[in-house]
Structure 1
Amino acid sequence: MKGNFDFLYSAFEDEKSILSLFDAAPQAILLIDSQSKIVLVNERVLEVLGYNGDELLGQSLDILLPPQYRERHSLMVEKFLATPRTRQMGQGIDLVALRKDGGQIPVEIGLSYIPSSKGVLIMAVITDIRERKQLEESARKAEKLRSELEKEKELRKLKNTFITMITHDFRNPLNAIRLTVDALEIYCQQISAPKTKHFARLRESLHRLETMIEQIMALGRVEAGQVIFKPEPLQVHDFCRRVAEQFEDRRRIRFSYIGQNQPIMLDPILLDHILSNLLSNAIKYSSDDQEVMLEVNEQADHILIKIHDQGMGIPLGEQIFQAFHRGHNVNGIPGTGLGLSIVKTYTELHGGAVSYESQENIGSTFTVTLPRVQA
């Protein structure tokens, strides 16, 4: 090996030969003397470090080192010269080089020595590892994301199991309570004056609990991927009117329809949930003397369903389509914060979208847009 190095050093007299050898290398290469002065560089240095070769010749190697590494580097050079051998520099340490523009880049540096009659030269082979570091960082982030997704998947599975268990355990007692209320009402009618108001309150409370359980179960089915879009031909006018009529005992709903009422492919179960949730909210968040409007408009390629109320409205910035979120102005009004999340999901299963406009103390209008697919 010593003879080969001597030959390389003797070839240094032929500048073109040595530059051709260096310039063919894919890495940046520098020759440094024992005083850490740069005596030769190849063209790859320009691409990696941003310098022209002439700018580096005669300069201390410190010009390529961030200030915080210079003192340590001097000690490493002394140690290398004391026991010179070919090796990687700074094994186990993240090395960085200082570019001409002031930027710092991660590098690997291989060191070799060239003993000669004119002294020892150090050959530093610098490999730019930015791309590798970026790939490693991307892989690290991908692994972290995969791990987080796995945890989220497991948590969702546990949550769905919990929801199923809780809702199942609630259903049976609720059914028993309902039967007891029915029996009590019949018994009270036989022995004394009817307590209609009290039983109405009991039934209303039971209805709220049953609605809450239904919504929690619906959310669980959505998150478990168990809700399947099953379209069938629907007469939209007749369907929407029937849903609206189910709320007549709670509020007058003004219904209007523009279109030919031809059969359109929609999922009746999902559409019933969409309309019922929006109508229920419109009634719940407005007073008894305020009208609720349901407007359906068939257009060329889609159907617009608008539900308008004159209630308390929604404050700006509320994330109303997020599960369990409730507006800060609805304190004291029962609700789960699940209805609109379900509406959004069921609308999107149709390939549609839901939006709203609202002003506090004036009212809200929810618009559901569904694709119009002829049966």
Structure 2
Amino acid sequence: MTREAGPDEPGDARFRQLLEAAPDAMVIVDEAGRIEFVNAQTEALFGYERAELLGQPVELLIPERFRPKHASYRAGFVTSPKLRPMGSGLALSGRHKDGAEVAIEVSLSPLRTPEGVLVSAAIRDIRERRQIEAAAKLAADRLLSAVESVQDPFALFDADDRLVLCNSAFRRTLSEVPGPAIGETYEALTDALLAQGAYDLGQESPATFRARRLAYRRDPKGTFEVRTKDNRNLRMTDRRTGEGGTVTTIWDVTDDALREEELRQARSAAEAASAAKTEFLSSMSHELRTPLNAILGFSQLLQRDRKAPLNTRQKGMVDQVLKAGEHLLRLIDDVLDLSRIETGNVPLSMEPVGVAGVLAEAKAALDPMADRAGVELAIGPLPDDLPMVSADRTRFAQILMNFGSNAIKYGRQGGRAVFETKVAASGRVRITVVDTGIGIPEDKHGKIFQPFQRAGQETGPIEGTGIGLSITKRLAEMMGGSVGFRSVAGEGSAFWVELPALEPKQLPVDPTNLQVQASSPLREGEGPRYMVLYVEDNPSNIAFMEALIADLERVELFTAPTAEIGVELARGRLPKVVIMDINLPGMSGFDALRQLREWPETRSIPVIALSAAAMDRDKRRAEQAGFFRYLTKPVRVDELTDVLETLLMADSP
């Protein structure tokens, strides 16, 4: 039975108030299993009014399928009562008034009284926790699936260097290690492999190899290569995680080693060294991108999963995976770019370029990065007489974005980075990126433009490869320009690039004032119309050609930004003439011409080459490739018009 506290029982009332204020549902049951007390949380959890529960069997709150056995469990508990704490490992469910089952945890506290045993049950609603646990398990399963999909050996070690996660390919490398590998330290795994003779050490002793391998493990720079007893060459990398663990990746580069040997035998020593380097970097890019595709892809799926959204902690961990993967991709691109520059395989399309347009393009690309870093990015006032410069537009923009991104990365939150422009006394145009960041120590100034130098930030929290400034310097020099900087530690830096300015007589014809000779029959409105395809990736060159062709009423111009798109357009629309740039992103103009000559429908379409490369060897190569004519930039309007008239009017009466 239940009874209210009387005036002489103030303590009883206080205890009831404490039970009412408890965060869990509180149910007190007598020895017969009848409910004597419930608090407000019980009403909220099970949906019953208090009056509906008092005096009722406690089985009312238990799912029907468990009721038959519960009475015997309850009787056994009353016979031998003992405290049962919350979270005892049992998966329990309660029954809501509407019949729905509720995931719960229950603690039992028995109390012997003169009237018999009372049992106080604290009942906790764990539905939200179960959902979080299910989402976490799904995320973990997907991460394991992503790791397992990586074709090369991949393993994760914790801060104590114990193996916590690996894929099947990594387990195969440990096939000769007895016993389970999970939980073992990397040092123990290395000792087991050495004891089994897994490696071909050559003249090196096991102790020396072990010391060298563990030294690299403690300070992982570059890669570590080994040879197995079955003559396979393995390349290992260790990378630290944000939590102090280590990611180990292994590539089987046996085929690469064989190819390099063949190259060394086929070429001279200098050619072989250069070719081996290029082959190595190309292979490294492929081998890195293959596992990254799965890691980044599955991580993005986890971020966007609406059916089982991640909690805040899980999102943070996935964000770290994405951030590390994207950093690795940037490293791959930078290394390959540096390699192409060193081997002279960087095509440049030199042309008159407007500085203002490239500045606006660079700022637009960097604005999101600046916003995230809390750095104000701005373009300072431009000189009124600012001339155009001679440059490759794409590489010019790359230089400005490299300087700008460094100013943001090494800036301070709330600081500034400003693009300043002036015409130098030497007749060149200087663009300077001035920042209020951390600056560069004076003892690091001499190496700042050398590859893999990061001005003392090699082990700092700011990501970077130390390649960007080296690439920037070489690109500027290839375009006839130069770079430099000034910096004070703690105050900021100013990096500048100078490029040759163009005299007015060197500037291209103003597209708005293009006039084709009045006698051209292509200007007449009557007569057949002709389609001309222009394949060009530079916006200013496209605008120039559009302005020129606009004066030819019988000519319809359509454009393509890449050779791949241009070839498909040519096959689909069959233009009368194709005007083709040579240095295009992806497929070159020469490759595009070869494809056009392979298909019957485009084989006879004349193709005019239009390029900034003006050397005699370039012209000879174009003639040998089969271009109808080779024109150089900046193009002479009359010359281009004459060629178009010759080709378009060939069939006219």
Per the alignment, residue 320 of structure 1 pairs with 448
Overall identity of the aligned pairs, in %: 28
1:274 equivalent in alignment to 2:399: yes
Q: Does 1:242 align with 2:371?
A: no
Equivalent residue for 1:311, pick from 427, 430, 437: 437
Counterpart of 1:122? none
Q: Deviations over 1:99-139 (max 9, x none)?
A: xxxxxxxxxxxxxxxxxxxxxxxxxxxxxxxxxxxxxxxxx
> Which amino acid letter does the alignment assign opposite residue 324 of structure 1?
F
CA displacement, residues 217-274 of structure 1 (integer Å, 9 cap, x when unaligned): 1011011110122123433212211211212122130112413566543212211221
Q: CA deviation at 1:276?
A: 1.7
Residue 463 of structure 2 corresponds to which residue in structure 1?
334
- Structure 1's 200 and 293: CA in aligned 2 closer, same or farther, altered over 3 A? farther
Shift of 1:295: 1.5
Cα 1:154/1:325, change in 2 over 3 Å: farther
CA shift for structure 1 position 193: 5.0
Residue 192 of structure 1 aligns with an amino acid whose one-letter code is P
Q: CA deviation at 1:364?
A: 0.7
Distance 2:278 2:459 in 1: 27
> Offset of 1:359 from its aligned partner?
0.7
TM-score, structure 2 as length reference: 0.33
Query: 1-side partners of 2:399 and 2:448: how far apart?
Result: 15
Structure 1 counterpart of 2:588: none
Deviation at 1:299, TM superposition (A): 5.5
- Partner of 2:287 in structure 1? 169
Counterparts of residues 14-25 of structure 1 (less than 5 Å): none
Paired with 1:348 and 1:223, the residues of 2 have a C-alpha distance of 13
**Structure 1 residues 362 and 183: alpha-carbon distance in aligned structure 2, compared to 1, 3 A threshold:** same
Structure 2 letter corresponding to 1:340? L
1:197 shift after superposition: 4.0
Alignment of 1:1-375 (within 5 A): 154-187=272-305, 189-192=306-309, 195=312, 196-251=315-370, 252-260=376-384, 263-298=388-423, 301-318=427-444, 319-332=447-460, 333-373=462-502, 374-375=507-508
Distance in 2 (alpha carbons) for counterparts of 1:345 and 1:282: 20
Q: Give the C-alpha shift of residue 181 in structure 1.
A: 1.7
Higher RCO, 1 vs 2 (CA within 8 Å, ≥6 residues apart) = 1
Q: Distance in 2 between matches of 1:186 and 1:329?
A: 34
Letter matched to residue 302 of structure 1: R
Instruction: Provide the rounded CA distance (Å) in 2 between the counterparts of 1:182 and 1:326.
Output: 30
Distance in 2, matches of 1:213 and 1:366, equals 24
* Cα gap change, 1:363 to 1:175, in 2 (>3 Å): same
Change beyond 3 A, Cα 1:155–1:326: farther
In structure 1, list runs of 5 or more residues that go unmatched.
Answer: 1-149
Q: Deviations over 1:264-301 (max 9, x none)?
A: 43212211221121111111112222111112234583
**1:172 CA displacement:** 2.4
Amino acid at match of 2:454: R
Return the alpha-carbon distance in structure 2 between the equivalents of residues 247 and 182 of structure 1. 23
**Runs (5+) with no aligned partner, structure 2:** 1-267, 371-375, 509-653
> CA 1:344/1:363 → structure 2, altered by over 3 Å: closer, same or farther?
same
Please give the alpha-carbon distance, in whole angstroms, between the structure 2 residues aligned to 1:240 and 1:247: 11
Encode CA deviations 1:198-225: one digit per residue, 9 max, x unaligned.
Answer: 4443332222111111100101101111
Output the amino acid matched with 1:186: R
Q: Deviations over 1:127-163 (max 9, x none)?
A: xxxxxxxxxxxxxxxxxxxxxxx75654343222211
In the comparison of the two structures, how many residue pairs are matched? 225
Contact conserved, 2:302 with 2:310, CA < 8 A, in 1? no
Quickly say closer, same or farther: Cα 1:255–1:199, change in 2 above 3 A.
farther
- Report if aligned partners of 1:259, 1:299 keep a CA contact under 8 Å in 2: no
Any idea what SS the aligned residue of 1:250 has?
Answer: helix
Identify if the C-alpha distance between structure 1 residues 325 and 157 changes in structure 2 by more than 3 Å, giving closer, same or farther.
farther
| CA RMSD, Structure 1 to Structure 2 (Å) | 2.3
Kept after mapping to 1: 8 A contact 2:303/2:310: no
Q: Which amino acid aligns with 1:177?
A: I
Cα distance in 1, alignment partners of residues 453 and 417 from structure 2: 23
- The residue identity in structure 1 corresponding to 2:472 is V
